[in-house]
């Protein structure tokens, strides 16, 4: 008999558990999610409880394709262009979440939307996640599978450690490794709410896009911009050209070497992929501090620095 750890489930179980209104750990292209039926207040409430997530912080709703997304959201021309470009499974950089006006009474739990009149929708570019969505045949609310304010999970083991006993579908290590880019498609233009592997430059090829500056009059509730987030338990410092005694050092590129180097060649995509995994590892080493090498603040580097700057205590 094949040994199956108590919390590891197989594909067929996933649908049964989701249909019964319970939560599973679901692999995606970016990070693991805590997934449940987005139409069920009870299922969604369980996600919030598991994560200790404040109820004002809405969840991303995962769907199979643009057609399913349009059942729940009003897509204007720019939103459609973005979805058509980035939600094509063959695209390598498709980790994009699109915020659009919510189609009132289309059935999503208002708890999942935190009472907002907008909805964040995403098609994960992950074979297993898409298979689950297709079999479930409904929308899945799925925030990252970490307790609120902690590091995001990029392996099933991270999820298992954070939520012992939770049924988890193991899809291996997430290839992208940081959460999706989030854009808000408004009538008067597109705002970048959370940087990610899809960069502002990538987006600009498709539609004009402005970076969201918190504090504007029409400031959206984009708690992805909550200040403290993604924090390891160990204190962390960034922009360190070398470690001090007592530090565990995470390097970057040939100029800032370390046995834990986000990318020896200085490749930002590779660095993003390793970021949370290395932070999880560094966090278990009982060092006084985690020190991180400087990361160039351009392209994907902006997403990495965004996550790092929120992890500083
Ligand atoms: O890559 C990802 O996006 C992962 C995987 C699991 O899909 N999910 C993820 O979810 O990162 P979470 O909950 O950790 O982050 C979602 C972010 C939150 O910061 C939330 O505030 C924001 O999306 N959000 C959700 N609905 C929104 C809305 N209607 N308007 C603005 N921001 C929204
Ligand atoms: Mg998260």
> Is residue 265 within 8 Å of residue 251, measured between CB atoms?
no
Residues with CB under 6 A from ligand 1: 28, 30-31, 33, 57-60, 97, 99, 116, 118-120, 122, 142-144, 179-180, 182, 193, 220, 222-224
Beta bridge partners of 61: 121, 141
Give the distance (Å) from ligand 1 centre to CA of residue 262: 25
For the segment 225-240, the average pLDDT, to the nearest whole number, is: 81
Examine the pLDDT at 219 and tell me if it is beyond 50. no
Nearest-angstrom CA–CA distance, 213 and 232: 26
Per-residue pLDDT band at 92 (split at 50, 70, 90): low
What pLDDT, in 10s, does the model give residues 13-49? 999 999 999 999 999 999 999 999 999 999 999 999 9
**Which protein residue's CA is at the shortest distance from atom 10 of ligand 1?**
143
Per-residue pLDDT band at 218 (split at 50, 70, 90): very low
Give the distance (Å) from ligand 1 centre to CA of residue 61: 8
What SS3 state is found at 47? helix
| Residues with Cβ within 8 Å of residue 155, at least 6 apart in sequence | 32, 172, 173, 174, 277
For the segment 227-232, the average pLDDT, to the nearest whole number, is: 71
> Is residue 243 within 8 Å of residue 260, measured between CB atoms?
no
| Residues with Cβ within 8 Å of residue 261, at least 6 apart in sequence | 250, 251, 252, 253
pLDDT above 70 as % of the chain: 91
| C-beta neighbour count of 233 within 10 angstroms | 11
Measuring CA to CA, how many Å separate 273 from each of 251, 261, 291, 303? 14, 12, 18, 11
Per-residue pLDDT band at 10 (split at 50, 70, 90): confident
Q: Pocket of ligand 1, candidates 179, 193, 195: which has the most ligand atoms within 8 Å of its Cβ, to mutate?
A: 179
Nearest-angstrom CA–CA distance, 65 and 299: 27
Give the distance (Å) from ligand 2 centre to CA of residue 129: 17
DSSP E strands: which ranges in the chain?
8-9, 24-26, 33-37, 60-62, 96-101, 118-122, 140-141, 168-169, 181-186, 189-194, 209-211, 236-237, 247-251, 260-261, 289-292
Instruction: Give the per-residue pLDDT at 93.
Output: 52
Residue 240's H or E segment, with its range, is: none
Ligand 2 ion local residues (Cβ < 5 A)? 144
**Which protein residue's CA is at the shortest distance from atom 3 of ligand 1?**
180
Name the H helices within the chain. Answer: 11-19, 41-51, 66-72, 77-86, 127-136, 156-162, 200-204, 268-283, 300-311
- Token pair, residue 166, equals 């939770």
What pLDDT, in 10s, does the model give residues 164-203? 999 999 999 999 999 999 999 999 999 999 999 999 999 9
> Is residue 145 within 8 Å of residue 75, measured between CB atoms?
no
Q: Pocket of ligand 1, candidates 130, 222, 275: which has the most ligand atoms within 8 Å of its Cβ, to mutate?
A: 222
For the segment 209-222, the average pLDDT, to the nearest whole number, is: 65
For the segment 223-237, the average pLDDT, to the nearest whole number, is: 74
For residue 32, give the ligand 1 atom closest to its CA. Answer: 6
Measuring CA to CA, how many Å separate 174 from each of 13, 91, 130, 195? 21, 16, 14, 18
Measuring CA to CA, how many Å separate 191 from each of 51, 184, 188, 210? 27, 5, 10, 5
Provide the mean pLDDT of the chain: 91
């Amino acid at each position: 008999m094949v040994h199956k750890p108590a919390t590891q489930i197989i594909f067929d179980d996933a649908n049964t558990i989701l249909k019964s209104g319970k939560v599973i750990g679901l692999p995606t292209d970016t990070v693991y999610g805590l997934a449940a039926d987005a139409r069920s207040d009870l299922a969604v409430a369980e996600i919030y409880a598991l994560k200790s997530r404040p109820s004002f912080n809405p969840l991303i709703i995962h769907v199979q394709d643009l057609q399913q997304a349009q059942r729940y959201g009003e897509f204007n021309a720019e939103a459609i262009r973005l979805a058509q470009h980035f939600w094509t499974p063959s695209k390598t950089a498709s980790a994009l979440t699109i915020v659009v006006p919510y189609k009132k009474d289309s059935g999503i739990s208002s708890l999942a939307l935190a009472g907002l009149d907008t909805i964040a929708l995403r098609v994960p570019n992950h074979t297993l996640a898409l298979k689950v969505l297709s079999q479930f045949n409904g929308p899945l609310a799925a925030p990252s599978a970490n307790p609120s304010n902690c590091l995001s999970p990029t392996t099933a083991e991270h999820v298992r450690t954070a939520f012992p006993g939770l049924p988890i579908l193991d899809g291996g290590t997430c290839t992208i490794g940081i959460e999706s880019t989030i854009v808000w498609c408004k009538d008067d233009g597109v705002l970048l709410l959370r940087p990610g592997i899809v960069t502002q430059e990538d987006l600009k090829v498709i539609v004009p896009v402005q970076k969201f500056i918190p504090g504007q009059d029409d400031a959206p509730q984009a708690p992805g911009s909550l200040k403290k987030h993604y924090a390891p338990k160990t204190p962390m410092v960034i922009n360190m050209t070398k470690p001090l005694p007592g530090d565990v050092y995470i390097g970057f590129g040939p100029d800032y070497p370390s046995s834990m180097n986000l990318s020896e060649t200085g490749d930002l995509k590779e660095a993003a992929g390793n970021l949370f995994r290395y932070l999880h590892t560094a966090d278990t080493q009982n060092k006084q501090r985690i020190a991180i090498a400087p990361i160039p603040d351009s392209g994907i580097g902006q997403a990495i620095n965004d996550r790092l700057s929120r992890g500083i205590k």
